[in-house]
Chains A and B, each alone.
Chain A
Amino acid sequence: MRCEECAQALGGYLDGELAAAVVVAFEAHLRVCKPCGGLVASCRKTIEIYRSHNGKCAAAPLPPALHRKLVMPPSERERHPRS
């Protein structure tokens, strides 16, 4: 596989959508091509770091008042409109 073909297959590789034979060729190319290897590694790290960051941010609790509004029945909300 050449770098141009690697570029074509990059998205499919990251998403695990390539056929097994293409994966073998892709990974063989990565072993001998440092730029393509670095690109794949940093793309993967980009995804991982965003996912991890998002998970940490999403763990923070919402303000209690906002949570109470969400669980309030719609009929009640009409009596307590949004501020």
Chain B
Amino acid sequence: MENATPQLGEGSGKRGGEVRLWERGMETELEIAAGREEEAELVRRARAGETGAFETIVERYERRIYRLALQMMGNAADAEDVLQETFLKVHAKLDQFQQQSKLYTWMVRIAVNQALMKLRQRRRNVVSLDEELASDEGPLPREVADWHPNPEQQFEATELGDILERALRALALPYRLVFQLRDIEQLSTEETAETLGISQAAVKSRLLRARLQLRARLSRHFRVQGAAS
């Protein structure tokens, strides 16, 4: 059975201003600055009407935006609509992009707004994003089964994808959105709060709940056989 003790040296998180290497990869400050500079130049050229520059922006981000839209909408047709509306807005509003955030973060905000509008049209009873959800986090599970060291290797890629998608879609929308933006898209807490129009405290609370719920659902598949759930 796998020892459940985490590898603390790898994942102790950001202390002070340190970047979380386990999460962010090994991107250096120099690379980040170069990337920002390149992006600023790309935006400048697109604003100037250079068709090739806008095409580069589309090519760079269309798949990630589509993926986000697909997870939010749950079907390809609506995701395609959201994707097209997002890039129309990006094209129309590029002059308003302040470059205080990354271009992708700004585009995610547009895409999320487009998707939410569509969801609200589709389901009038959709849970409001600023609605106060249960605030009590409750006790942590005390019976925590060991997971396989590499649970992804237990399953075929398609089967693993189904497990992950089902678990994510089972989350209530407010939790799912926060998990998508914070943990998958890697927006900051502040950016997520601004995008969804909720407080940073709500982002943190919902994120923890989302992680715990997902972990519990995945445990059914990833735990070492014979271990408690």
The stretch that binds A, out of B28-36, B109-117, B146-154, is B146-154
Q: Is the interface of A mostly helix, strand, loop or mixed?
A: helix
Minimum CB–CB distance for B115 against chain A, Å: 16
Given the complex of chains A and B, what is the CA–CA distance between A15 and B15 in angstroms? Answer: 10
- Complex interface: chain A residues within 8 A of B23 (CB): 16, 47
Q: Is the CB of A70 within 8 A of B5?
A: no
Question: Would you call A79 an interface residue if the criterion is a C-beta within 8 Å of the partner chain's C-beta atoms?
Answer: no
Additional A-B contacts beyond A30-B5, A51-B186, A66-B80 (19; CB < 8 A): A3-B140, A15-B207, A16-B13, A16-B20, A23-B13, A34-B144, A35-B142, A35-B144, A42-B144, A42-B147, A42-B218, A43-B212, A43-B215, A45-B222, A46-B218, A58-B66, A66-B84, A70-B84, A71-B55
Given the complex of chains A and B, what is the CA–CA distance between A36 and B212 in angstroms? Answer: 12
Question: Would you call A1 an interface residue if the criterion is a C-beta within 8 Å of the partner chain's C-beta atoms?
Answer: no
Question: Would you call B11 an interface residue if the criterion is a C-beta within 8 Å of the partner chain's C-beta atoms?
Answer: yes
Query: Which of B63, B146, B211 touches A60 (beta carbons < 8 Å)?
Result: B63
Q: Is the CB of B164 within 8 A of A50?
A: yes
Q: List 19 A-B contacts (CB under 8 A).
A: A3-B142, A7-B139, A11-B211, A19-B15, A23-B12, A35-B141, A35-B142, A41-B5, A46-B214, A47-B23, A49-B218, A56-B157, A59-B63, A66-B80, A66-B83, A70-B84, A70-B87, A71-B58, A82-B84
